[in-house]
Structure 1
Amino acid sequence: MTTPAPASIALIGGGPRGVSLIERLGAALRDRADVDLDLHIIDDTQVGAGRTWRTDQVRELCMNTLADAVTLFTDDSVTMTGAVVEGPTMYEWCVLALHAERPSSDTAAVVADIAASHVAAFADVPVRPGLVDEYAAELTGLVPHSHPSRALYGEYLRWCHARAVAMLPGGVRVREHLGRVVAVERSGGREILSLADGREIPADAVVAATGWMPRGATASESALAGPAARRGLLWVRPDSPADQDLAAVPAGAPVIVRGLGMGFYDTMALLTIGRGGRFLESEDGLLRYEASGDEPVLHATSRRGLPFRAKSLYGSLPPRAPQRRLRGVDATRMSRPIDFDADVWPLILRDAFEAYYATLDRVRPGAVTIGLADLVRVIDRAPGHIDALAAAVAPFVPDPRDRFDLRAAIDPVRQTFSGPAAFDAFVRDAIVEDLAEAARGADSPLKAGLWSIASARQPASVLGSFGGYDARSREAGFALLHAAGGMFGSGPPAFRSRQLLALIDAGLVRFVGPAANVTVENGRFHASSADVDGSGVDADVLVDAFMHPHDLRETADPLARSLIDAGRARPFGAPSPGGGAVPTEAFDIDPGTGRLIGRDGSVDPAVHVAGIPLDAALHDTIISPMPRADSTMLRETDRVARSALAIALAAASVPATVRSTA
């Protein structure tokens, strides 16, 4: 008589999503003491933290989210089948760790306010020895609305990983593998994972939670690559800042930087304070930069030409945007595919206009000449377009400076400039004005309106998941929402914008102009903007301070390519208004399980994909889980973990001799 072989699951990717999958497997197995399961976790950098959040990266790199606004634990807001298993947010974990090592009345007061379930979860697994000493300066200064270092977040993830593993039943054997999976092939009724170093791992179910997958060069990059290589120019290609090698960037040299989002601020930090410079604060609160002499001079550009807006200083976590129109939508009564521009975008705009004017009416009584309820009725009756809403409200807001100019916020550079100095001054003034608004916190009408739009990305994404919007909408209003929402809500901490001002004043950061064209001319990189006269700058170094989004159609990832070539994967198709489907960047998956959809439309028997490579299909996959927000990621990891477990356990019930010949 043959006995069944153990069930086996392979998780490709040991970052946040991989950790959450382990935790969700544990939740699904909490009453299964008899389980017999091998759980393989494969990551090419650091199991538990992953590449982006690995703990050995420099501390100058900080998170773009707030310490108390990120968690890896479920709560009763999460729409899922599995059991809720609560645990501490990152901030709570930091306080608990600090109090355990260095108890004080201050930390004791905070610990007393932390939910008992979170404290109990922390008590299950101690933090690693030496952690508090290594991060003492950061931990002692941390508040709920701090932006922690990425390395410290990696430590939190590693602890979440250790706890998730500790909570697994005794019959689950965890095998950690450091390496990169380059192919998955079905053989003998099982999945065989091939690693780059030649190792092979068999499994009954596979989940690819890889995070950012490499993408092939764009056409413009390919055109630039040959001339740059022939002339020996230094080109730092798009990637995570922690993986970009900036060591060869020479001191004092001009450097062209493409991108003015968070990647730019990371590059800026690494090439200034990362090279020994210091920011000093004067008595009047202004920052001054004291150079080390090792800094280059950055000439930055982006499509809009302006840096992302700073996050507001609320002195707490950001307030929840009301968005009563958008959040009041009953998705079950909307016919899919939804016309985003006609049915959703007007709701978002009206919510934003109401948020702006409700704040204005509160902080500047009399600025609006009719009651707020009457103004809301004006907003509701007006056509749901930016210009129409602005025109409808204008008669009731006499001072033009008090009006919500959303058009200017979305498209801030609507003029040409007489030269680089004029454009630099324009950008500097914009940063100063934005910081002033950020300092007003909840009392800034402008930030309230823009935050409403930024916050709309999550509920709008849920409405449009898995083909909820037609292809035309995705390329128009939905794309605009994410572009504008990123600029308004995914910008840097305010202290980074203050640092940027100091670097501008020190002559170490300049701006080329919007949509600068970058070529190789006369043996050097050359960047110039049609909107800024005389904007041309030459440099031997080009830094692309951004990451390409994953695109399955142009993937450079060997694992993704192996699945495509085998017919086990295909791009997700967005419905076309004229019928049919338009291929997108994402993997096509079964929404209920996360299993791949193959070239022939069949659901894969064992391979799942979760996370960022699904963003163009599932949407909202990049944002870290937030407490009490029904996080997309936690909903996803629950259903995918349950599917992988069901497949593995079903396979294990088959005798090994049958499985080997299947």
Structure 2
Amino acid sequence: MRTLVIIGAGPRGTGLLERLAANAAELLPTGQRLHIHLVDPHPPGGGRIWRERQSPLLRMNSMAEDVTMFTDESSAIEGPIRPGPSLAQWAADQPSFPPYRPVADPALRAELARLAPTDFATRRAQSAYLDWVFRRAVAELPAPVTLTVHRESALALAGPADGPQRVTLTSGRELMADQVVLTLGHLGSAPDERHAATAAFARRHGRYHLPPAFSSEAELAAVAPGEQLILRGFGLAFVDLVALFTEGRGGRFAYRPDGSAIYHPSGREPVLHVGSRRGVPYHSKTDYRLQGPPAPLPRYFGPATVEELLNRPGPLELRRDAWPLMAKEIGFGYYHELFHAHPERTTLPWAAFLADYDRYGWYQPELAALVERAVPQVADRLDFERLDHPLAGLRFADPEQLQQHLRQYIRADADRRADPAYSADLGAFLALLSLYGQLPRLLAAGRLTARSIAGELDGWWHGFFSFLASGPPGFRLRELLALSEAGVVRFLGADLSVTEDEANGTFVASSPSLPGHRVRATALIEAYLPRHSLQRTEDQVLAQLLRAGRLAEEVVVDPDFTHRSGLLTTDPADGRVLDPALGGAPHPRRLALGPHTNARAFAAFARPRTNAPAFRQNDAAARALLRALAASGPAGSPTTGERMAAGLTTARP
């Protein structure tokens, strides 16, 4: 009997289990028995972030037809492709996808019954889908493979590199394993020095402060009705918090015939003052499909291009060396859709435009002249600088002028993202997604400078991608407009600064968008998700291994710069943990997958037909695990009697 322990039963652990089931017939010797222990205090499938028990106000930021947990014909993997339904397909016809089990909650069952492919489902709906994906993966495990689910946390991991691994659970139970995988998902971290100092200020003055946190778990009741509250951050965490502070406190939205929203306050809302570096919300997701044929991606930033980059002498920088090609790829997706779906707004045939587009670099003036000649309307041209810095250089005479400007900006964005006439934006989005298929290889080669990884990859690029591609559904922006018109939300501007006034115990917000203007508040929320820090991780296993010197934070060093990413260092080939006690070599019995690792593939589920990096990682890890398990000696596993005595269950759907 071989034994595998997977710590973390959310989408990443579930995706790994699906790949284990898909590859087991090929890689496990005939008759070889394997027992898998799945450890997580939260329900398997959804895990912590996507558990069913959370507010129904919290939504996904992808349409239901754009969410899948399954490989397809686009997946560049070594293992077998096992297609499966998207969230939308599963919700529309659940009985046809075994193993079928009716959703117990009536409200959730009703939502799934009316879910359209282009709807933005609640996170509870995604939880139901992930529960089914988990049960399907278990059902597809071949007969010699069994599974036990442990609804508790892991505390520690120990064992020699050449021998059995011991996983200690909160109950005191110990699991012996041949292989262990850490699929821990998104993790919290203890506040850093800056946030700890702000928390100390809040305690001294009896004020409310929330450091970066998961919105669904935040304790918000201490913020009083009518209290002045600063929200620092304008992304998805902000969107969730606004929903919880408004509809979550009894307010409601109504809609006019033209689709605009009106907000009816309950009187229990705080006053929400919001600002950020850009000073505007993330661009909303489009709620239409391509109007023309899909662009043949990649064209300018594919495997051959990355190979050429890696063959260049000397260190590489993302903005200098890769971004011009990445930008051109995004432009290709954008203009391909514009020319094919809306040719009346162009002056050249597509073939003629493309021939010249191929010839010029992204920053060459000849390319700008080509676009100006072929695309007469400025609104139809792709301008990254304008998109990335919409308030740059703008100064407003008074707060009301800023409110009016932001309302116009948000209304225009919501209208554009709902209008198929601007479907070129979706073409750009799809090209943007394609870049993630190539970036892991560029990073894994170790050629990017430390400064570039810190400031350009983990800094600018991640923020720019999220701003353009990871925004909320369009209706959230229309709700934001209504909240602004009702006076519940007030905009602060770009390059937000928040200081602390010890004299009167208030937080003070200011922005160069409003010179000389200050907003005082008695509550402050850092409205963004926590970034993982291995040194401050809340996960007990990672903390224990770090203290024992058995894992390492990713540290990239150049002669003039050192970057500590906070991420766990793994082998990019298969996710093996690099162990300092083994001289930095991959640990033969320990793997880690997910956003807490330096693989940097955050989404555990993906848009169909995008060759998702996470699926490629899961497949490579599953095959490495199965090969190792086939070659290793047994570490021991619980007998049936031991499982019954411990109150455990072997999972079968």
Check whether TM > 0.5. Answer: yes
180-189 or 257-266: which moved more? 180-189
What CA RMSD, in Å, does the superposition of the two structures yield over aligned residues?
3.0
SS in structure 1 of the partner of residue 17 of structure 2? helix
| 1:498-517 matches, cutoff 5 A | 498-517=478-497
Q: How many residues align?
A: 623
- 1:59-106 superposed Cα distances (whole Å, 9 cap, x missing partner): 111111221222222234322232222322211111112xx4xxxxxx
- Which residue of the partner structure matches residue 12 of structure 1? 7
- Could you tell me whether the CA contact under 8 Å between 2:286 and 2:426 is conserved in 1? no
Residue among 586, 593, 611 paired with 1:610: 593
Query: Residue 50 of structure 1: CA displacement?
Result: 0.4
Query: Residue 219 of structure 1: CA displacement?
Result: 3.2
Query: Residue 497 of structure 1: CA displacement?
Result: 0.8
- Which residue of the partner structure matches residue 542 of structure 1? 524
SS in structure 2 of the partner of residue 135 of structure 1? helix
Matched, 1:562 2:544: yes
Residue among 595, 598, 615 paired with 2:576: 595
- Which residue of the partner structure matches residue 438 of structure 1? 417
- Which residue of the partner structure matches residue 111 of structure 1? none
SS in structure 2 of the partner of residue 612 of structure 1? coil
SS in structure 2 of the partner of residue 39 of structure 1? strand
Residue among 505, 516, 534 paired with 1:552: 534
Task: Classify 1:165/1:407 alpha carbon distance in 2 versus 1 (closer, same or farther; 3 Å).
Answer: same
- Which residue of the partner structure matches residue 108 of structure 1? none
Task: Classify 1:230/1:54 alpha carbon distance in 2 versus 1 (closer, same or farther; 3 Å).
Answer: same
Query: Residue 353 of structure 1: CA displacement?
Result: 3.8
Residue 302 of structure 2 aligns to which amino acid in structure 1? R
SS in structure 1 of the partner of residue 491 of structure 2? strand
| 1:231-310 matches, cutoff 5 A | 231-310=205-284
Matched, 1:325 2:300: yes
Query: Residue 442 of structure 1: CA displacement?
Result: 5.4
Q: Which runs of 5+ in 2 are unaligned?
A: 638-653
- Could you tell me whether the CA contact under 8 Å between 1:552 and 1:586 is conserved in 2? yes
- Could you tell me whether the CA contact under 8 Å between 1:144 and 1:317 is conserved in 2? no
Task: Classify 1:474/1:373 alpha carbon distance in 2 versus 1 (closer, same or farther; 3 Å).
Answer: farther
After TM superposition, the score normalised by the length of structure 1 is 0.86
Query: Residue 561 of structure 1: CA displacement?
Result: 2.1
- Could you tell me whether the CA contact under 8 Å between 1:350 and 1:380 is conserved in 2? no
- Which residue of the partner structure matches residue 38 of structure 2? 41
Query: Residue 333 of structure 1: CA displacement?
Result: 4.0
Distance of 2:342 and 2:4 partners within structure 1: 59
Distance of 1:549 and 1:290 partners within structure 2: 35
Matched, 1:351 2:318: no
SS in structure 2 of the partner of residue 346 of structure 1? helix
- 1:222-266 superposed Cα distances (whole Å, 9 cap, x missing partner): 221211111121222312221112222222222111211111111
- Could you tell me whether the CA contact under 8 Å between 2:177 and 2:636 is conserved in 1? no
Query: Residue 472 of structure 1: CA displacement?
Result: 3.9
Query: Residue 591 of structure 1: CA displacement?
Result: 2.5
Distance of 1:241 and 1:493 partners within structure 2: 17
- Which residue of the partner structure matches residue 137 of structure 1? 110
Distance of 1:397 and 1:170 partners within structure 2: 60
SS in structure 2 of the partner of residue 495 of structure 1? helix
- Which residue of the partner structure matches residue 395 of structure 2? 416
| 1:114-513 matches, cutoff 5 A | 119=96, 122-123=97-98, 125-128=99-102, 130=104, 133-186=106-159, 189-315=163-289, 320=294, 322-327=297-302, 329-335=304-310, 338-357=316-335, 370-385=348-363, 389-390=367-368, 393-394=371-372, 400=378, 403-414=381-392, 415-441=394-420, 443-445=422-424, 447-448=425-426, 450-451=428-429, 454-466=432-444, 467=446, 469-475=448-454, 477-478=456-457, 479-513=459-493
SS in structure 1 of the partner of residue 484 of structure 2? helix
Distance of 2:298 and 2:74 partners within structure 1: 18
Distance of 2:64 and 2:220 partners within structure 1: 28
Matched, 1:584 2:565: yes
- Could you tell me whether the CA contact under 8 Å between 2:306 and 2:442 is conserved in 1? no
- Which residue of the partner structure matches residue 647 of structure 2? none
Residue 346 of structure 1 aligns to which amino acid in structure 2? P
Residue 70 of structure 1 aligns to which amino acid in structure 2? V
Distance of 1:91 and 1:41 partners within structure 2: 27
Distance of 1:401 and 1:500 partners within structure 2: 24
490-499 or 394-403: which moved more? 394-403
Distance of 2:517 and 2:171 partners within structure 1: 48
Distance of 1:652 and 1:631 partners within structure 2: 34
Task: Classify 1:649/1:383 alpha carbon distance in 2 versus 1 (closer, same or farther; 3 Å).
Answer: closer
- Which residue of the partner structure matches residue 84 of structure 1? 81
After TM superposition, the score normalised by the length of structure 2 is 0.87
Q: Which runs of 5+ in 1 are unaligned?
A: 1-5, 101-118, 657-662
